[in-house]
Amino acid sequence: MTTAAARPFDARTDATLRSLEESGQYKHLHMLESPMDAVVKMRRPNGKSADVLCFCSNNYLGLANEPRVVQAGIEGLKRYGAGTASVRFICGTFEPHEQLEARIASYMGTEASYTFVSCWNATEALFPTFCEAGDFILSDELNHACIIDSIRLTPVIKKGVKKGVFKHSDMASARQKLQAAQDDPEVTGQIWIISDGVFSMEGDIADLLSLRKLCDEFGAMLVVDDSHGHGVMGDTGRGTHEHYGMCPGTPSFDPANGTVDFFTGTLGKGLGGGAGGFIAGPKRGTELIIQRGRPTLFSNALPVTVACSANEAIRIVMDEPERVQRLKANVASARKKIGAAGFEVLESPTAICPIIVGDTAKAISMSQRLLELGVFVIGFGYPVVPEGTARLRIQMSAAHTEEHIDRLVEALKEL
């Protein structure tokens, strides 16, 4: 009789899971039993349901459960069915995809846009498709994981692409890396700079005006992933580029500021909250993606019902800018009241309000206690954020009322 050979996977996976449990980093999924909204029904560990105030969703404009957004999805499903059972370029493009992509372009102030099942996919399509040997990609050190992975992947697909990282929002560091690239004989092609628009852990924003100037000086292309900025930043919620007067078609636009070359963004946060991502920019770029982008050539489209919901969500953002104003008023009120209760909230112009508590275990126990008090806020610690800067991350929504904010502050005071 032969015995089966030991398989390394089993033991090492058990060890990893055990060490995550022991260090308090194991993620337990929270089960929701109602739609995403200011108040959600959550299944608690005792198996019972409890209504909790949600301050950790990216549902910035309260569109995730907006009746018109839901209805648009239902109508799309009835009219077009589940999907095409095909990738886009074979027989996988429905009219709602075309309509959504035109809507995103007009919302973003770009010539064109192209959608994917997620922003992760959009970003992973962008660099490996756009870059060629001799190109150089320069990335902010705090950029989102999908940007990091897209940049890691690029030289695997396109040999001879080089990459660098600059210190977070540090223009001197970026300039120094650009100069080094300029002096590098192997950098013969296009230089790219990529930054998040809104950084999700601090809630701070990229200095797009300075990045634009740097790009112009070095002949570089500027790419911005503004997933946390859409629906939030700028007077009409177009994003961080509108905040800086860089969004054509909006009142604050000044051509002297310049524009962003390409955007990636998500439809899974402020713009409806379902799922989906996009690249927006000049048509020649989206055309190249359609021809050569592996995540769209070999993978299905955004489901048509999701495309219909997202299209309606963006229509609402554009037609009802008062939602954006309500969000801004809620953010201002929450910051003021949390500060008055004696907590240190990081200053930022976004809907992300991090309260620094220092120790990771403290952040986790505070968020557990808040949940017992009926307030759902996530604590982030090391290694997601630097050691000693563990925090509670409060995310505001236009769906919150002043009473919700007061209940949040009361619960914080209980701690």
Ligand X SMILES: *Cc1c(COP(=O)(O)O)cnc(C)c1O
Strand, coil or helix: what is 358? strand
Peptide bond into 8 cis (omega under 30): no
Instruction: Between 200 and 367, name the residue whose CB sits nearer to ligand X.
Output: 200
Instruction: Between 110 and 115, name the residue whose CB sits nearer to ligand X.
Output: 115
- Our finding on whether 120 is near ligand X (CB under 6 A) is yes
Among 196, 204, 242, 312, interactor with ligand X by CB under 6 A: 196
Spell out, one character per residue from 220 to 259, where the chain touches ligand X: x when CB under 6 A holds, - when not: -----x-xx-------------------------------
DSSP for 212-237, written as a single string: HHHHHHHTEEEEEE-TTTTTTSSTTS
- Our finding on whether 181 is near ligand X (CB under 6 A) is no
Longest dimension (CA), the chain: 79
Q: At closest approach, how far in Å is the CB of 251 from ligand X?
A: 26
Among 88, 97, 103, 144, interactor with ligand X by CB under 6 A: 144
The enclosing H or E element of 171 equals: helix 171-183
Segment near ligand X (CB under 6 A), from 112-120, 124-132, 245-253, 351-359? 112-120
Among 57, 84, 118, 139, interactor with ligand X by CB under 6 A: 118
The enclosing H or E element of 286 equals: helix 283-292
> Contact at 8 Å (CB) between 225 and 123?
yes
Instruction: Between 239 and 277, name the residue whose CB sits nearer to ligand X.
Output: 277
Q: What is the spatial distance between Cα 356 and Cα 2, in angstroms, rounded to a whole number?
A: 58
Instruction: Between 337 and 393, name the residue whose CB sits nearer to ligand X.
Output: 393
Residues known to be catalytic: 200, 228, 269
Strand, coil or helix: what is 333? helix
> Contact at 8 Å (CB) between 223 and 193?
yes
Helix, strand, coil abundance in the chain, percent, nearest 5 = 45, 20, 40
- Our finding on whether 395 is near ligand X (CB under 6 A) is no
Q: Which residues bind ligand X (CB under 6 A)?
A: 118-120, 144, 146, 196, 200, 225, 227-228, 266, 268, 277
